[in-house]
Each structure stands twice: as C-alpha cells, then as structure tokens.
Amino acid sequence: PAREPAPRVTFYGNLSTSANQEGARHLLADLAEPLAQEVPDLRVLLLGANPPPDLQAAGARSAIPVEVPGFVDDVRPWLRATRVLALTLRTGSGQRGRVVEALAMGVPVVGYPEALEGLELKDGEGVRVARDAEEMKARLGVLLRDEEQARALGERGRAAVSDRYGFASTYGLFPALYRRLLEGGGRTH
C-alpha cells in the first residue's frame, strides 16, 4: 500500500492500560522532540482506544503535529499512513499481535527487546531492536529520514510474518493434524 509522504511515527495500543500509556508518554516526552530536530515534518500518531486526557491533549501542547484519534473502526488506513511503528514499551504483554499486524501491512517496527519477546523475528526481519532510548531514537530517525529503507525493512517484515504467521503456517496445519488424530485414534505421535 502507498504511504503518505510525511514521516509519521506511530504508537499503537489500547491507551487505557498503564503500560501503553507509559510507552506513548515515552515516545512523546523523550523521543519526539529530538527526532523532530532531525526529521523535518515529523508527525506522531498515538493510535489506540481510550486515551487518557493528558494524551488526548498532547497535540495541543506540542510543536510537533500529534494525532490522537482514540477508538477507530479500522486501523488499516492509519497504519498505511505510518512510516514506522514505535514499540516503546518496556514490557512484553499484549503487543505481539500489533507487531504482526503492522508488519503484515509492510510497516517496519522499532522496539525494545522486552516488547519483542516471543516473536520469532530477527533484527532486520521487519524489526529493528533498540536496547535503550538513544538507540530507539537513532533507529527511528534512520527510518523516518529514509523512506526507501523503511519500505524495504517493512517488505522484509511482511515476508517474515507471512511465512511464520500466515494461514498456511497456522490454521492451514489443522486439517493434517485432525486427520492424524482421527486415523491414529487420538494419538499425536
């Protein structure tokens, strides 16, 4: 899908949870301003239901354009307009589906190791791992400045999640499993 020309970094997650609020605030407070100095026309999107008042008002307080739409019926148009997804959480709960969803749309992800735990993705397979805030800023900056590099990383991510998490690798395995179970009297070995 075509990307919007503006460099947009997105945080994506239910904004009613404290972990996601902390991640969104980290993006705004520690990363957005320094990134804006390097990336002309930077835009920030906080995508998620139930944002608290301080995050809802983030756009009014910032010199950088910040969008906080709250609940949306369909995240795909928002993700299509994203250059890079920032996984700025320091915990691993809940966001794995979001990572796969973004990568399936060709959106690259920069995340802390804790937030990427459990995914069978290596650095470079659609994701860039950042060990600290400085590395997070640097890796986001590269992808926000270089649309072609972001696109290429996103395409590698799309291929990786299609291979590992697509229908053939997940639900497509069930017919053969059921057949084995039925033919073997319930034994799987």
CATH number, position 33: 3.40.50.2000
Residue 103 maps to a domain: yes
Number of domains making up the chain: 1
Residue 68 maps to a domain: yes
pLDDT of residue 1: 44
Name all contacts of 117-124 with Cβ < 8 Å and 24+ positions apart: 117/92, 118/92, 120/164, 121/157, 121/160, 121/161, 121/164, 124/153, 124/156
pLDDT of residue 119: 84
Q: Using an 8 Å Cβ cutoff, are 108 and 84 in contact?
A: yes
CA distance 21 to 108: 21
Residue 165 maps to a domain: yes
Q: Domain containing 171: what range? A: 8-183
pLDDT of residue 85: 97
List per-block mean pLDDT (blocks of 10 residues) for the chain, which spans 189 residues: 75 94 95 95 96 89 92 95 94 74 96 87 94 98 97 96 69 69 69
Residue 2 maps to a domain: no
Residue 111 maps to a domain: yes
Residue 135 maps to a domain: yes
Residue 189 maps to a domain: no
Residue 3 maps to a domain: no
CA distances from 49 to 6, 125, 172 (A): 24, 28, 32
This prediction has a pTM of: 0.85
